[in-house]
A and B are shown apart, each in its own frame.
Chain A
Amino acid sequence: MKAPEHPSPAGLVGPAQTSAAAGAAASGAAGEPAAHGAAEGEPDEEPESEPPPGRSWVERLYLREIASGLARTFRHLVLERPFTTDYPDEQLPYNPRARGEHILKVDEQGREKCVACLLCEAACPSKCIRIVVGPSPWPDRERYPVEFEIDMLRCIYCGYCEDACPCDAIELTPKPYSVYDNREAYIYDKEKLKNNYPQDWRERFSGGYGKLTGPPYRGEGGDRSLIR
């Protein structure tokens, strides 16, 4: 009797009714175990925990799961290539915006761009820059640095010197670190700073993140190849 009647009213009231019923059922289902658990304490915490109910003994053998786990590890073993970087021998390239050791830029004639304005020295929070000012030997500027030293042990690689420089003469490169066996070696003089990294490294980083194009650069001292 009901079956033929059912379709026509269901089209009108059906959805609202069913969703309300479903909502009630859901809230009941959600609320009931919570109250249950609070009243009786956590049933999961008994020491000899029984497997969750509703699984047959075949499922509880976990043979399929063990087999799939073995298959997974075997796939890793034979198919997948390790993604380890063989660290000291190969190193991941740094982001071109990483702040590493400095470089003193030179112009087309190989002269340092620095005009010895001492702004970087003033901006440096760790006072690691030492500049000796002298009269410039070139006609296009008045002063140039006779000596330019950065103590890499004091430097905190904040990049303020680069920000302060009015003529882009000092730059922080992504060259990550250097290792020496004496402290004096960490005080970089002008020549060392000029040749600390390729002058054109920005152009060679044209490939975007981590892609230094051109011939691989090999640092000096304790530094190993920067880019594979």
Chain B
Amino acid sequence: MSIWALLVIVGILLIVLHIPPGMIWAERKVAARIQGRWGPTRVGPFGLLQPLADAVKLLTKEEVIPRGAERPLYYMGPLLAFVPGALALAVVPFGHDMRVGDTVIQLQIADLHVGVLFVLALTSLAVYGLAFGGWSSDSKYPLLGGLRSSAQMVSYEVALGLAVVAVIMSAGTVSIREMVLAQQELLFGFLPAWNVFFQPVAALIFLVAAFAENNRLPFDMPEAEAELVGGYHTEYSGMKFGMFFLGEYVAMTVMSAVMVSLFFGGWGLPGLTDPHDTSVGNALVSAAVFLVKVAALLFFYIWVRWTLPRFRYDQLMRLGWKVLIPLALANVVVTGLFGVL
């Protein structure tokens, strides 16, 4: 492994680890402004240091572990919620290749040929974190939350996968890197050749399923604070609770990054980035474009959260099984027919 690869890994890790604090701040601020409040204003300018204060609070808080807790699983829960999601970022290209001297550096930790499958596999692992956390707490509300999250994530995993299948069929590759590269051309001379224009239904299904996968409103069934206290993390405190929090935001970041790569052209923006240029400047611009796109999707997450009410559990299941999955299947069939013709 070259020193450059190491640098890329460190850089991506740094970026990703700075997203959750930013998200916490943005979430509180956006929520407040939508509700006609100011949000955090006290800690630092515009309350920007609020996540830091939150982190200090979480780190210094007493950790209460329920007496009947299943210790190993109880400790594993927050880790499992956090680590697999973060790992999935390894296959997402953060920018175009850049050439320094003779070496070509990929702004991507690992260019797996099965990148999409890798992402699907790892993001679905997060359900173990929630299920373990819910079950091992020895408390009824976390148990219910864990159960719900398992059912929900397993259900929406199917729709998510089927939506991706259609994209794979139309793109003809499973490597995220190649998918992104294939989206760099122009369509009819003005429209970027993003998959969202070829596969709008798949994009919509992916979006909805991604919300459900990340347990975000309107699908935050596992938490459902009005019904389940806090859901799977009710009995967690201190930094273990913080890890669940981090995991949620990292999972959202991953989903956004994957969605940007699959549907919204990854790091490319016609006019700003040039897919045939491998200069350092172009690579940095492409990385910035990618991050802006991810940030826009993350904002969309927050925006939707404070707009739509929570689904009821049976409505959630009906939407998943009776609407999204048939729709995704039909989409796959139609895509296949187009491919044959």
Q: Which parts of A39-57 form the interface with B (CB within 8 Å)?
A: 47-48
Instruction: Output the least CB separation between B98 and chain A (Å).
Output: 36
Stretch from B223-231, B243-251, B289-297, B301-309 at the A interface = B301-309
Interface centre among A72, A73, A80, A86 (most CB of B within 10 A): A73
User: Which of chain B's residues has its CB closest to A83's CB?
Assistant: B36
Interface residue? B35 (CB, 8 A)? yes
Q: Which residues of chain A come closer than 8 Å to B308, judged between CB atoms?
A: 66, 69
* Given A48-B314, A48-B318, CB of A70 within 8 Å of CB of B38: no
Instruction: Output the least CB separation between A191 and chain B (Å).
Output: 37
Partner of B303, one of A47, A74, A83, A84: A74
Q: Which parts of B171-222 form the interface with A (CB within 8 Å)?
A: none
Partner of B33, one of A48, A69, A76: A76
User: Which of chain B's residues has its CB closest to A80's CB?
Assistant: B36
A77 touches B318 (CB 8 A): no
A84 touches B33 (CB 8 A): no
Instruction: Output the least CB separation between A142 and chain B (Å).
Output: 57
User: For the complex, what is the distance from the CA of A66 to the CA of B303, rounded to whole Å?
Assistant: 12
* Given A76-B35, A77-B30, CB of A70 within 8 Å of CB of B314: no
Instruction: Output the least CB separation between B83 and chain A (Å).
Output: 33
Q: Which residues of chain B come closer than 8 Å to A86, judged between CB atoms?
A: 38, 41
User: For the complex, what is the distance from the CA of A74 to the CA of B318, rounded to whole Å?
Assistant: 29
B36 touches A76 (CB 8 A): yes
A70 touches B304 (CB 8 A): yes
A-B pairs with beta carbons under 8 A, tally: 37
A73 touches B36 (CB 8 A): no
Interface size class of chain A, counting residues whose CB lies under 8 Å from the partner chain: 10 to 19
Q: Which residues of chain B come closer than 8 Å to A80, judged between CB atoms?
A: 33, 36
Partner of A77, one of B33, B38, B41, B304: B33
Interface residue? B37 (CB, 8 A)? yes
User: For the complex, what is the distance from the CA of A72 to the CA of B308, rounded to whole Å?
Assistant: 11
Interface residue? B114 (CB, 8 A)? no
Interface residue? B65 (CB, 8 A)? no
Instruction: Output the least CB separation between A224 and chain B (Å).
Output: 16
Interface residue? A7 (CB, 8 A)? no
Q: Which residues of chain A come closer than 8 Å to B37, judged between CB atoms?
A: 82, 84
Interface residue? B7 (CB, 8 A)? no
Q: Which residues of chain B come closer than 8 Å to A66, judged between CB atoms?
A: 307-308
* Given A66-B308, A70-B307, A77-B30, CB of A84 within 8 Å of CB of B314: no
User: For the complex, what is the distance from the CA of A73 to the CA of B38, rounded to whole Å?
Assistant: 15
Interface residue? B32 (CB, 8 A)? yes
Q: Which residues of chain B come closer than 8 Å to A82, judged between CB atoms?
A: 32-33, 36-38
User: For the complex, what is the distance from the CA of A74 to the CA of B307, rounded to whole Å?
Assistant: 9
Q: Which residues of chain A come closer than 8 Å to B307, judged between CB atoms?
A: 66, 69-70, 72-73
User: For the complex, what is the distance from the CA of A47 to the CA of B33, rounded to whole Å?
Assistant: 36
Q: Which residues of chain A come closer than 8 Å to B35, judged between CB atoms?
A: 76
* Given A48-B318, A86-B41, CB of A70 within 8 Å of CB of B36: no
Q: Please list 8 pairs of residues, one from A and one from B, whose beta carbons are closer than 8 Å in the complex, sorted by A's number.
A: A47-B314, A48-B314, A72-B307, A73-B307, A77-B33, A82-B32, A83-B36, A84-B38
B residues at A contact (CB < 8 Å): 30, 32-38, 41, 303-304, 306-308, 314, 318
Nearest 7 Cβ contacts at the A-B interface:
A73-B307, A73-B34, A69-B307, A76-B34, A82-B38, A77-B33, A84-B38
Give 4 new A-B contacts, CB below 8 A, not counting A73-B34, A82-B37.
Answer: A69-B307, A84-B38, A86-B38, A86-B41
